[in-house]
Structure 1
Amino acid sequence: MNDTAGRLLAALPAIYRATGDDPLRALLAAFERMLLASGNANAPAIADEIDAIPSLFAPLGVKPTAYRQTINGPASIQSEARPPAPDRFMPWLAQWVAFTPYRYFSADELRHIVAGIVPLYGRRGTRDYMEKLLALCFGAIGESSIDENPVRGFVIGRSHVGVDTELAVSEPYRFRVEFRLHERAFTRAHGAPHDLEERVRAVVEFARPAHTEYELVLTRNQREPMEG
């Protein structure tokens, strides 16, 4: 039997598996190469493409895992290590997890954002969510803090005469985001600070509740670590 057509031919009734060089065998051999085993890395078979699908949904790749079978536990599962999703697939993955400012980030940055953003969605609309999202997106180049009540005005029992006795209108739905930039790290990786402001603002716009307003302030971290 011709090995090239063996797997498909074996699925047919015995009458079709007669010995000899017949047209059916040649036809199945062509389909076998296309569907199951092409032997050409530049034109992989469909089965090879299907095996690669898990990698498309793994921004950081898939590490090999093994689960041992216990008396009442699950069956053992063994998975092979798989490469990370290709760069061209990262914008689609970012949209798949509803991260709309993906255009402001490189493929490598998107890998870490996509891998870490889903667990944060349970906290959406909170200060904790925005702080963690900003750290996920920009933690390597700076740190952020959020003041949920930047304009307090004159509050009896809290304000100090001559210090913070400011007469101002209360703005309960306004918050302030301060991003302290590690200048050296940013310069090495990204370039101009005004580009960073646009990127940070895009993430804040994405994360803030729709009924709120905000103020964004970028500062330089004076205590940033020196280069080694």
Structure 2
Amino acid sequence: MPDTSSYLNSLPAIFSEDPFLGQFLLAFEQVLTGLDAAKDEPKQGLEQTIANLSKLFDPSAIDTLFTDDEKTLKAFLQWLSGWTALSLRADWDTGQQQRFLAEIVPLYQRRGTKENLAQLLKIYTGLLPIIEEAPDRPFQIGVNSTVSSTISADTAQIGGGTPHRFRITVTMKSSSTDELARQRQIIQAIVDLQKPAHTYYELPILIRTDTMQIGSRSTVGVNTLLGSIPTA
């Protein structure tokens, strides 16, 4: 720490003759602009704190402010996520939490759209959802003639498609019943929060296998599987 405040350089030369004044101004310099190698608090001045204020709202840079305090960083990220009306998953590390916060704000520009919902589900679950809206396919014998109550490519519909309804298909690796229930709960919570209020949805969850399953994976170009599914 210097013996004399640099603030003396901004005063008339006559004030430099008094060594007490140089020591006295050190306290103000430490509080206002900071001192190199300061041993006492505050470690940085108000000007430095204000200059770094924007980093508190930049998820990609916030870790530079908490380099020695992982617990405080996690707590601050949780607080920051409250500004986005979403919660961070407890099993994410700080890097995943930072990436989520960095991506979520731009996604709000597309809130309520299929693209926004698909991206959110991918971020939260690591799965690649297939989101389909009910097709509007009139009853045509020989063209659309399969009578069914569920959404499919060849379902016959009398009076037009089911309004305000969509289906989200998610494929998971074989896992425990508890993990399946946990992922379903997460997906439903996200969809309920992000979907337009007047819409309804179906949520079939398929278990990933290495074979084609007629009736489960039989829509060519959508969910028919020949071979194994690449890792998301």
Q: Give aligned pairs, total.
A: 193
Change beyond 3 A, Cα 1:109–1:216:
farther
- CA distance in structure 2 between the aligned counterparts of 1:181 and 1:126, rounded to whole angstroms: 23
Partner of 1:59: helix, strand, or coil?
coil
Unaligned runs of 5+ in 2: 67-72, 149-154, 210-227
2:30 to 23, 29, 33: 33
Distance apart, 1:144 and its partner CA: 0.6
Identify unmatched segments of 5+ residues in structure 1. 63-81
Question: Partner letter of residue 184 of structure 2?
Answer: E
Q: Report 1:1-228 matches (<5 A).
A: 3-15=2-14, 17-22=15-20, 24-35=21-32, 36-37=34-35, 39-40=38-39, 43-46=42-45, 47-61=47-61, 83=64, 86-96=73-83, 98=84, 100-105=85-90, 106=92, 107-139=94-126, 142-149=127-134, 155-157=138-140, 158-161=143-146, 164-165=155-156, 171-183=162-174, 192-222=179-209, 223-224=228-229
1:54 Cα deviation from its structure 2 partner: 4.2
Q: Larger relative contact order (C-alpha < 8 A, sep ≥ 6)? A: 1
Question: Could you tell me how far 1:52 is from its partner in structure 2?
Answer: 3.9
- TM-score w.r.t. the length of structure 1 is 0.65
Aligned-residue sequence identity (percent) comes to 25
- Label 1:122 to 1:162 Cα distance change in 2 as closer, same or farther (>3 A): closer
Distance 1:60 1:202 in 2: 26
Shift of 1:42: 7.7
Helix, strand or coil: the match of 2:129? strand
Q: Distance in 2 between matches of 1:196 and 1:207?
A: 17
Normalised TM-score (structure 2) = 0.64
Question: Aligned-pair distance for 1:220?
Answer: 2.0
Q: Deviations over 1:6-52 (max 9, x none)?
A: 2223233444x232332x33321122233411524985222444454
3-state DSSP class of the match of 1:18?
Answer: helix
Asked whether the 8 Å contact 2:172–2:205 carries over to 1, the reply is: yes
- SS of the equivalent of 1:195 reads helix
Give SS of 2:6's match. Answer: helix
